[in-house]
Structure 1
Amino acid sequence: MTAAGFYDRIRGQLSYERLFFLIFLVALFLRFYQLDLKLFHHDEAIHAWFSYRLLTEGVYTYDPMYHGPLLYYTTAGMFSFLGDADLVGRIIPSLLGLLLIPLLYPIYRLGYLDTKQTLIAALFIAVSPDMVYFSRFLRNDIFIVFFTMVLLVALLYYFERRETKYALIAGAAVGLGMSSKENMPIVVVIFGSYLLYLIATRRLELPGKWKTDLLLGGLVTVGIMAALYSSFGAHPDVLADGWLRAIEHWTAMHQQERLGGPPFMYIILFLLYEVPIFILAVFGTVQFLGGDGRAARLVQSLRRRLGRPERPELQSLDAVAGTRIIDRQDEFMRFSVYWLVLSLAAYAYIGEKVPWLILHQLLPLIFVAVYRMTTRKAIVAVALSVFLITMTWHVAFTPADINEPIVQVQNSEDLRTVMALIDASDRVAIASENYWPLPWYYRGNASQKLQYYGGKIDEGSIYSQNFDMVITYDQDTYPALTGYEKTPYKINYWFSYYDNQDRLAEYYVTRTGKLGSMNFEIFTKPGLAENAAG
């Protein structure tokens, strides 16, 4: 076989559909492999605990500190089917993170992305450290990213096909997103303001029944939110003041800057974890602003208009744009840049800087990064993805405490030893105000051996009740307890920007530096450690 023949055979085997499916399988592996490798994060444990109480006691009321109700109802549902466990709690986030990839396909089918753009966008979503890490994470943000993608696809199809069902899907996406977390309105404002721009510039003509469709979509949104926020009618008072409490709480959090950082904090995180995507996005933006290739693409649009398009569904372009020739990919890029800039600005302004908020900026960054994806540029993107895969493996699959800002108050692996000691004990005193995630890991019947005091107690109470083990916070502990051995353990840990800001370049290479932590001091009866180890 000649070299040319071999190359043609390889090209025939690596069709678009096969490559897309292969990327999907990679994403599937990265999201579900050893899903319970790491202990629950502090917030994950709280979310799982509330979901468990919802399942076992029927107890749930919306609290803006812990975000919207959808996560709790879906997680409780998973616990009811598959049992309450760390792995089960992470299944839905992993599934939503995985389904971002198939949602690229309808955008491709409408012509807003070409084959190379779709494949590279899918690759970036599949192996991005932040996308993978927070898809394996029981928090609300991957819910928001998923419903953002559903909303995007529904809106594109609505304005192409002008069918009411897509308005209803868009309404459901907004309602479910708004029932997930309080930052969904940022997405709605960005999408809505760009839609107004398209209408004002006559780049988009609304269908004649748009008012009816908007009303129906709005009713779906309101219905979903009313059902979930009222706990399906159990707490109707939440509908009256829940939105106000949410505004008050998050305004206070913004002003307090409890977990603060500089306005450019997320740029630092992009450069730490997503640098290939960031570089290609900068390059793509420069290409777009310079008008690179736009004339040629308009010629292609004109040819489609005069002849038969490559894909039949592209024939609706002129029905949407009237007599104007609008290039889908350029228009989608314009929207993606707008989406990215406003997202960067919004989260730079918000006072609380937590790593999972990067997802809402990363999604439009990926779309900007794949603009004008030539074969050469695609090869570069695939090569640079080695960095993404390496970082993903490091942050998601290292079974140890890692010095990375992505973890943000991650529970320490030291807790496995602490829990082994608890398991070997008959009675344990929790004489500390800091004790999460113990209520999650010792729930139900397992909780009976633990006595929570919420702080240090009188030593006489410890001796009189003959505890096998006493857990204290190292900032409020005992110098010693007669008859007990004292050992320190980390509860959780975090990377602080302010503790390392003077050595960022060194940290980037070595990933070493000051690691903040909260610590237990554990008092155990002699021989307990040996029993736990045995």
Structure 2
Amino acid sequence: MFLAILIVALILRFAFLDLKLFHHDEAIHAWFSYQLLTQGTYVYDPVYHGPFLYYVTAGMFALFGDSDLVGRILPCIFGTALIPLVYCLYRMQYLSGKTAVIAGIFVAIAPEMIYFSRFLRNDVFVVFFSLLIVVAFLAWIQKGKWYYLLIAGIAAALGMCSKENMPLILVTFGLFFLYLVWSRKITLPVHWLRDAVLAFLVFAGIGCLFYSSFGAHPEVILTAGPSAIEHWLNMHNQQRIGGPPYYYLLLFVLYELPILLFAIAGVILYLRRPRGEKPVTADETPAETTDAELFERAEETESGPAPPAPVPAKKRFSFTELFRRPEPPAVMNRQEEFIRFAIYWTIIACLTYAYIGEKVPWLSLHQLVPMIFVAAYALSFAGKYTKPLMVLACAFLLVVTFHVAFTPADIAEPIVQVQNSEDLVEMMAAIDAADKVAIASDQGWPYTWYYRGDAWNKISYYGRKISEDSVLAGDFDIIMTHDGDSYESLPGYEKKTIRLSYWIDAAATGSDPGWLRYYVTRDGKFGSINTDVFTKISS
């Protein structure tokens, strides 16, 4: 089943990978990666997030050439690699077979998972490293091998080198870990302190290497943290790309409605479960019985009920006990504790990103991954209705996926945020055929990426509108200007207006015909930055 799910995920992520032009941000990330490859220059700037993306993308460009398709290969691989991590949770018995398969299917076909796995941004790396931390840490607790915690430390370091929201994720995980230790749900391996020190040293070493640009800028090691905090606090207060606290809820209703509904049901089912009992689903076998439980049952059978267990003395808080290896815990129901963790992770993530002032669609991934586990948990209770519900859910998710990821045209969807228009495909074909091109505006993106290197030689970029006499004196084949600061006409040129980049105009969509009709038809209104294109009339 997981092999089939993995194949489906690979197809949905890699098929027609360069079908659409780079998003505005993708073009910027690819450009900086290209600069790193060709000029060896990179300095961390929190505006453009961590260094990991730029180094690995530059490596891909070095191996396979610089193109849109190559730039998106690693996001595809990392987005697909979430599925083997789900399988690992099943093998370690933190997920039942049914729950694991449902979660794997949702990861494979969820529209936002697919869309942002085909997208050169940091977030798909961060969600992969986040889940890898969970899997590796649980393997360390379960098997006690030092290299599992080392893997968790490497994943945490690479996540920190990917994006500035990783500290929030580590704090979220750390608080739940303290709960597990304090409640005696887990016991640390014998050499836990040695393993932790080794993992921390590797974590710090990787962070220093990446943020210092591999030794080229060692001063950044000390300034990276404060500059990141300062920048993102400013963005939060400024709300440069703002939205209401329920912004991500609207995205889930638009793109992940079945997962959202099942996740809500999963929380309710979990809260209503019988206390102290395993929430056994229809296809699960009972949990293993300990020797102590067998002994008590035998005593009850042979000589009546066993006497009540003594009431344990109330524990006093001791700070030093936090650093002691706990005594072996009582038998822990792994599946129940993991769902408790998934619910906790979902709630904390949703509240965190609802509060943060910067609202962008790719941040929904950090809420969607744990939500998928909660949704799968709910469906494992559906019994004979599981298959019909999964068919309906998969049909919804696949229809939305094909609309947002495989429509070779501009789509009025909030998931695109600010996407470069497909009008540019025809525009760049004309530029390729021209000898001299002028950009008489500040609209250099995404041309800077698409005409990198020697290809830029045919383009004269002014960064502003220049006088009509000056632009005509250049004898350009194509002249491009911002439509808001353009020429009424130019003698000898034909004028046409195209979209440079676009987004959904939510206000226009919500006024008429209304959100309900938009939800069904996706017939939304566009907002856009437009370009006036003046093409020389051939004599």
- Superposition TM-score, scaled by structure 1 size: 0.90
The SS at the match of 1:512 is coil
- Corresponding position of 1:376: 384
Shift of 1:435: 2.3
- Matched residue, 1:403: 412
Q: Alpha-carbon deviation of 1:514? A: 2.1
Provide the secondary structure at the position in 2 that maps to 1:84.
coil
Aligned residues of 2:161 and 2:211 also touching (Cα < 8 A):
yes
Aligned partner of 1:303: which letter? T
Is 1:359 the counterpart of 2:359 in the alignment? no
Once the two structures are TM-superposed, the CA of residue 320 in structure 1 deviates from its matched residue by 9.2
SS state at 1:478 partner: coil
Match status 1:232 vs 2:214: yes
Taking the aligned partners of 2:529 and 2:113, their CA distance within structure 1 comes to 27
**Match among 511, 516, 532 for residue 522 of structure 2:** 511
2:57 to 45, 51, 75: 75
**Where do 1:456-475 residues align within 5 Å?**
456-475=465-484
* 2:384 partner letter: R
Equivalence for 1:421 = 430
The corresponding residue for 2:34 is 52
CA contact (8 A) 1:120 1:378 kept: no
What is the number of equivalent residue pairs in this alignment?
Answer: 500
The CA deviation string for residues 325-346 of structure 1, in whole angstroms up to 9 with x for no partner, is 3211110011111100000011
Are residues 34 and 291 of structure 1, via their aligned partners in 2, closer, same or farther at CA, if it must alter by over 3 Å?
same
SS at match of 1:521: strand
Superposed, 1:44-443 pairs within 5 Å as 44-291=26-273, 295-297=277-279, 300-303=286-289, 322=328, 324-371=330-377, 373-374=380-381, 375-379=383-387, 380-443=389-452
What displacement does 1:434 show?
1.7
**Number of the residue aligned with 1:524:** 535
Closer, same or farther: CA 72–491 of 1 in aligned 2, 3 Å: same
Task: Give the deviation of 1:212 after TM superposition.
Answer: 2.1
**In the TM superposition, what whole-angstrom CA distance separates every residue of 1:76-131 from its partner, at most 9, and x where no partner exists?**
11111111111000000000001110111111111100111111111000000000
The answer to whether the 8 Å contact 1:483/1:526 transfers is yes
Distance 1:236 1:517 in 2: 41
The amino acid of 1:326's aligned partner reads M
CA contact (8 A) 1:230 1:238 kept: yes
Give the Å deviation of 1:459.
1.7
Provide the alpha-carbon RMSD of the alignment: 2.0
After superposition, what is the alpha-carbon deviation per residue over 1:22-46, rounded to whole angstroms, capped at 9, x for unaligned?
Answer: 1111001000000000000000011
In structure 2, relative to structure 1, the CA distance for the partners of 1:118 and 1:382 (3 Å cut) is farther
1:36 counterpart = 2:18: yes
Shift of the 305–526 alpha-carbon distance from structure 1 to 2, 3 Å rule, reads farther
The question of whether the paired residues in 1 share the 8 Å contact of 2:500 and 2:530 is answered with yes
SS of residue paired to 1:371: helix
Q: Give the superposition deviation at 1:426.
A: 0.8
Task: Find the aligned partners of 1:305 and 1:28 in 2 and give their Cα distance.
Answer: 45
Q: CA deviation at 1:297?
A: 4.7
Distance 1:305 1:496, change over 3 A: farther
Q: Unpaired segments of 5 or more residues in structure 2? A: 295-324
Shift of 1:302: 4.8
1:180-224 Cα shifts (integer Å, max 9, x gaps): 011111110110010111122222222342222222111111111
Amino acid at match of 1:414: D
What is the SS of the residue equivalent to 1:101? Answer: helix
Deviation, structure 1 residue 382: 3.6
Q: Unmatched 5+ residue regions in structure 1?
A: 1-18, 309-318, 529-534
State the distance in 1 between where 2:427 and 2:227 align.
Answer: 38
**2:44–2:211: 8 Å Cα contact kept in structure 1?**
yes
Residue 474 of structure 1 deviates from its aligned partner by 1.0
Matches of 1:394 and 1:458, distance apart in 2: 43
Q: Which stretch shifts more, 171-180 or 497-506?
A: 497-506
* Partner SS for 1:92: helix
Identical pairs, percent: 52
CA deviation vs aligned residue, 1:238-258 (integer Å, no higher than 9, x gap): 112111111111111111111
Give the Cα–Cα distance (whole angstroms) in 1 for the partners of residues 435 and 290 of structure 2. 76
Q: Could you tell me which residue of structure 1 aligns to residue 493 of structure 2?
A: 484
Q: 1:520 is aligned with what amino acid?
A: T
Residue aligned with 2:95, SS: coil
1:27–1:46 Cα change, 3 Å: same
User: What secondary structure does 2:357 align onto?
Assistant: coil
Q: CA deviation at 1:142?
A: 0.3
SS in structure 2 of the partner of residue 227 of structure 1: helix
Moved more, 284-293 or 164-173: 284-293
Please tell me whether the aligned partners of residues 482 and 531 of structure 2 are also in contact (alpha carbons under 8 angstroms): yes
1:286-315 deviations in Å (ceiling 9; x for gaps): 11000159625589335366799xxxxxxx
For residues 385 and 138 of structure 2, what CA distance do their matches in structure 1 show? 27
Distance 1:32 1:483 in 2: 45
Aligned to 1:27: 9
Aligned residues of 2:36 and 2:58 also touching (Cα < 8 A)? yes
1:174: Cα distance to partner? Answer: 0.5
Report the Cα distance in structure 2 between the residues aligned to 1:170 and 1:278, rounded to whole angstroms: 29
| Cα distance between partner residues in 1 of 2:103 and 2:439 | 48
Deviating 4+ runs (over 4 angstroms): 296-299, 304-308
Task: Write the distance in 2 (CA, Å) between the matches of 1:303 and 1:320.
Answer: 22
Partner secondary structure for residue 295 of structure 1: coil
Supply the AA of the counterpart residue of 2:422.
E
Contact 2:243 2:357 (C-alpha < 8 Å) held by counterparts: yes
